[in-house]
Amino acid sequence: MSDLSGLYQQIILNHNKNPRNFHRPEGANRKAEGYNPVCGDQIQVYANLENDHIVDIGFEGSGCAIATASASLMTENVKGKTRAEAIVLMTRVKAMLTEPGAPSVPLGDLEALAGVRQFPVRIQCAMLPWKTLLAALDE
């Protein structure tokens, strides 16, 4: 179990150090800003939504390691998905962060965020990118 935690920690540190899709994609037609006052995380999420598909996605801003890693992992996991699929994924991530036990379906590298569950104040950090994405898609 500690090996597993170590692996998850590596994933988070890696995504924090080298965030994926950390830019404003060309052709982005959706944008939202999110702010988590508890931690000071500030993030902009950009998406190119075409025919209800997230064709491209990126983010900018500054946040703690958890917020940045969550945003990076999110962009990798929702690119190419429909709006509805992204919302389902968000619901599953939220459940993983707030409910005891393993996720009901495997969530791949997103499971690296599961350890956040032990630190309730950090759940807001991990959920911020997802909430901001939802706001962008609902724009």
Does residue number 130 form part of the binding site for Zn ion (CB under 5 A)? no
User: Measured from the CB of residue 38, what is the shortest distance to Zn ion in angstroms?
Assistant: 7
CA angle 96–18–31, rounded 5-degree value = 70
For residue 58, list its beta bridge partners.
46
CA distance 23 to 31: 12
65 counts as binding Zn ion under rule CB under 5 A: no
Q: How far is the CB of 4 from Zn ion (least distance, A)?
A: 23
CA atoms of 135 and 99, how far apart (whole Å):
23
Q: Which of 93, 125, 133, 134 binds Zn ion (CB under 5 A)?
A: 125
Distance between CA atoms of 4 and 20, rounded to whole angstroms?
22
- 89: number of Cβ within 10 Å: 19
Q: Does 64 bind Zn ion (CB under 5 A)?
A: yes
Residue 39 is a binding residue for Zn ion (CB under 5 A): yes
Query: Using CB under 5 A, which of 54, 67, 89, 137 touches Zn ion?
Result: 67
Binding site for Zn ion (CB under 5 A): 39, 41, 64, 67, 125
